[in-house]
Amino acid sequence: MFKDVFISHAKEDYEIAEKLYDFLLQKGFSPWLDKKKLKVGSNWDYEIKKALRESTFVILLLSSTSVKKRGYVQKEFKYSVEYSENKLVDDIYIIPILLDKCEVPDSLSKFQWIEIENEFLLQEILDSLNIQRQKYLNSLSSDAIEINDYTSHSINFKISDNVTFDYSCDLPLFHDNNFFDAHFVNTFIQQKALIFISEQRNWLNDDEFSYFMDMEHLFYFQISHSIKKLDKNGLSLTIFYDTFFGGVHPNTNIDTLNFKFNPERILQFSEIVKVDKLNKFLKKSILKYGDDEQKESLLNYINYITEDNVNFVYNDDSLEINFTNYIPRVMLAIGILEIPMKYVKEL
């Protein structure tokens, strides 16, 4: 709900529009782009108007080409402004992106634009979409909230004024609904992230980091997530922490969380996999379902994993064991072992 994003562009700017489309799709939105959505033989004029009218948001790609070009792109600008009149004065609806040093049309000048060169472009767009989407969802009763109607939440991370780095945080934020206790779930998710943030702050405040801070590095800290399962029975997700604060290479760590609903509780690995010896199960699974590289490498790390620290996510089709926290960074590409749930249930 409230995820539809119409992308308006001149055909000369399609490559940028497509990249934006892919990004929004990855972040859980439903972007609309003519070449992606129009079917052969469809009435394109009707379909474009319909998509524009029904969209929650409109992103306008403004360039020297699009603002001066006669044709349908001008109609899209016009319709967007017309539909914006039905919004509240503080609603975010039209998001103009300047692709070059073009002149912004007078009709669009009241809408805050952002330049394509902005290094935080995608994050700022995502933040605006999520802020407005959260406003819409907060205006609804819990009865109207669908199970997939969650937004993105960012936790602030600041060390000191003299330490700068690229930081982004994208955690799911669930709203009151009739399917599960959103507050219970949100608390656990944010607690996991806060613990990791606290650990990074501890390290960044010690003398070792002071050495790296004097060197020329592009530091970054990125928190993201991936949901494997979300239905009336439970939630299974991974939180990713990608960091670089100096040193030889970046670091990637993860947390996994698995919830059972009604009543809400943390699901234990032993409830999914019923085996006496976890290491024996991991060894058999790697040999049976791992690729050649996993068979050669992951067997060396199974002794690091216990039922207390195993990172896993699941859905009806498969169980994923994630070795990320226990293997060298060069092995990250083979760090996830996917096991068919059919095999797990036969144990």
What tens digit of pLDDT does each residue of 3-29 get?
999 999 988 999 999 999 999 998 889
The two beta strands, 57-62 and 30-32, are unpaired
Q: Tell me the per-residue pLDDT of 75-131, one tens digit each, with 9 for 90 and over.
A: 888 989 999 999 999 999 999 999 998 888 889 989 999 999 998 899 899 999 999
Report whether 102 contacts 71 (CB < 8 A).
Answer: no
Cα–Cα distance, 291 to 311 (Å, whole number): 20
Q: Say if residues 339 and 320 touch (Cβ distance below 8 Å).
A: yes
If you average pLDDT over each of 132-136, 196-200, 226-230, which comes out highest?
Answer: 226-230
Please provide the average confidence, as pLDDT, over all residues in the chain.
90
pLDDT class of 73 with cuts at 50, 70, 90? confident
Q: Domain 125-345 carries which CATH code?
A: 3.30.565.40
pLDDT at 44 over 90: no
Q: What span, in angstroms and rounded, lies between the C-alpha atoms of 61 and 78?
A: 14
Q: CA torsion, points 203, 205, 206, 211, in degrees to nearest 10?
A: 100
Q: Which of 191-200, 242-251, 317-326 has the lowest mean pLDDT?
A: 242-251
Contact 123, 168 (CB under 8 A): yes
Instruction: Map 114-157 to HEC letters.
Output: EECCCCCHHHHHHHHHHHHHHHHHHCCCHHHCCCCCEEEECCCC
CATH-assigned architecture of domain 4-117: 3-Layer(aba) Sandwich (3.40)
Name 114's bridge partners.
97
> Please, are residues 324 and 254 in contact by the beta-carbon 8 Å criterion?
yes
What is the domain partition of the chain in residue ranges? 4-117, 125-345
pLDDT score, position 57: 97
Helices (H), the chain: 14-26, 34-37, 44-54, 72-84, 121-138, 182-204, 207-213, 269-272, 278-289, 292-297, 341-345
Q: Which residue in this structure is represented by tokens 């943030």?
A: 197
Whether residue 156 is predicted with pLDDT greater than 90 in this model: the reply is no
Residue 345 — pLDDT band, cuts 50, 70, 90? confident
pLDDT reading at 203 higher than 80? no
Q: pLDDT value at position 94? A: 95
Give this prediction's pTM.
Answer: 0.80
